[in-house]
Structure formats: C-alpha cells, structure tokens
Amino acid sequence: MTHSRPPAHLQVNHISVTYNHSPRPALDDVTFSVPEGMRVAVVGPNGAGKSTLFKAFVGLLPLQGGGILIHDVPFGAHQECIAYVPQREEVDWRFPVTVSDVVMMGRYGLLGWLKRPGKPDREIVTRCLKQMGIASLAARPIGELSGGQQQRVFLARALVQEPHILLMDEPFTGIDVTTQEATLALLDKLQAQSVTLIVSTHDLNLAASHFDRVLLLNRRVIAYGTPLQVLTSENLTRAFGAHAVLIQDKMIVDECCPPDEYVVSHPTGFETTVPSNKHAREHRVRDS
C-alpha cells in the first residue's frame, strides 16, 4: 500500500507547547515554513525545544496555540506521510524484538487497523534493510546492536513508511563515521525524491555545509534562512549567550575553552563558543 503524495509544503504557524507544571513554554510562538524537498537543520542550545518541536509535529505533545499545516491542511490529515526518527536515548533497547520487527513497525501506519503485513510489506522491509547495510542483522535482537547499527535500524524503519516529510532528532550524535556518511548519503537520495527533511543537530558545521536552511531555536525562533543568513555571530550570541568573534585561522581547536564549551566555526568565517559536544574536538572553516 502506497499513500498518494500531497504537496509537502509545511507551515508552522505560531505554535506554543508547555509541559505540565512548567512556568514557561517549551516553545513560544514558533513560526516558519518549509518548501517541499527542502533540507532544514534545527539548531540551538540544550533545552531550546528542538525535540519538543518534533514531538509536536507527530502529535506526541499537544499544542497550546497555533497550528501545523501541510499544503494548507491540518497535519493530522497527512500524519501517515510523516516519519520520525527519535533520539536513540529515548528508546528502550531492552525490548525483546528483532531488527526486522522494528523496521516492520514502520509499515503499520500505512496498513490500517487489524491488517497483517503481506508480501509487499516484507519486500519493502528487506529492501530498506539492504539500503541501510543491515540486512545481515535482520534476526538480531535490537538490544545487541551498536549505536551506529541501532541508528541505521531506525532510519530503515522511517524509510519503509515512504515518507513525504522526515523528521530526525539528533541522528549524528554518538555514531561512527561510517554511519554518519551513510546518513548523509540517505539525505541526498531522499531530497532528490522531493522528501522534505528536518534534522536537529548540535554540529553547526554540519548544519552550515549540508543543509539548505537553518532554524536557530531557543524556545522562540531566533533566525531562519540560509546558513549564511542564520549562522552569524550576532544570532549565535542571541541563541547561546556566548561570545562570537570573526576569525582568520582555518583550524579551531576547543582545548582553549572551558570544559562546558566548545568552539564552532563555519563558512561565514565566524567562531563562537557554545555548550560542549564531546564528539567534536576540532572544526575546520571551509574555503568560501
């Protein structure tokens, strides 16, 4: 079963989300739009609302205000067209299921209630497992996999949904270089198929070099546009509360910074210190 493809122009209109007993909203009057087939990086400090935004997209959190539209229609009407890859730390990897079982779960939203997967569904699962290079792991319990392998399983689960919009929450955190390269290659392939991609990341260099637009978030939208428009010292200071200065050197190493900060740089030629990422030890400024 394949759902018909509506134009996936995504509009987020003045949405607000508040957690129970919280004195302030996790998201406050957030507005932006994404044309079909665009690749958007969502960046911001810890607690900025990046994961909250994705959970609101898929209906896991209620909106206190505003709305989300796909081609001027409330997103609930097209929710089966949205695939969501959560952070690995949010998944109970002790659950006794195999890799194949997890990937097949991505088909259930398309099958409807009480319908069992058929041969076409199994073929799609096999194809997506092969695409992610994990077909040999199909019968393995999910809890026995490495972090990179687990990430590939959830990417395969998203692929079997044949999504029009793919949401990925911190997919590059804690994975090996091979899985990162496979993930970026997958984004290239999906974008060529006009899939809209929205990805949160702490890696500002990755956001600058591999995405069409950047959403800089800190509960509210700080800036939204191309990487050159958004990743300026002024905007980064507003978002992270850090110092930003123009740099001349090609190489920036974070050893000069306090333990809770690291240095990031990007093609605009700016350097800033932001909360630490243990996996990022040095960042290069690409020649512009």
pLDDT category at 118 given cuts 50, 70, 90 is confident
Residues of the chain with CATH 3.40.50.300: 10-231
Residue 145 per-residue DSSP state: S
pLDDT category at 3 given cuts 50, 70, 90 is low
- Whole-model pTM? 0.78
74: which residues sit within 8 A by CB, 6+ positions away?
Answer: 67, 68
Helices marked H in 164-264 — which ranges? 177-192, 204-210, 227-230, 233-240
* Lowest-pLDDT range of 11-15, 69-73, 125-129, 232-236: 69-73
pLDDT category at 280 given cuts 50, 70, 90 is very low
At residue 288, the pLDDT reads 31
pLDDT one-digit tens code per residue, 7-27: 558 999 999 999 887 778 999
Cα distance between residue 227 and residue 244, in whole Å: 16
DSSP strand pairing (65-70 vs 220-225) = unpaired
Q: Contact, 166 vs 195, CB < 8 A?
A: yes
At residue 150, the pLDDT reads 87
* Lowest-pLDDT range of 2-11, 102-111, 238-247, 254-263: 254-263
Residues 121-135 have a mean pLDDT of: 91
Residues 82-103 have a mean pLDDT of: 83
CATH 3.40.50.300 for domain 10-231, yes or no, is yes
* Lowest-pLDDT range of 93-97, 161-165, 212-216, 268-272: 268-272
**pLDDT at 182 > cutoff 90:** no
Mean per-residue pLDDT of the chain:
80
State percent of the chain over pLDDT 90. Answer: 42
pLDDT one-digit tens code per residue, 205-254: 999 999 999 999 999 999 999 999 999 989 999 998 854 443 333 223 23
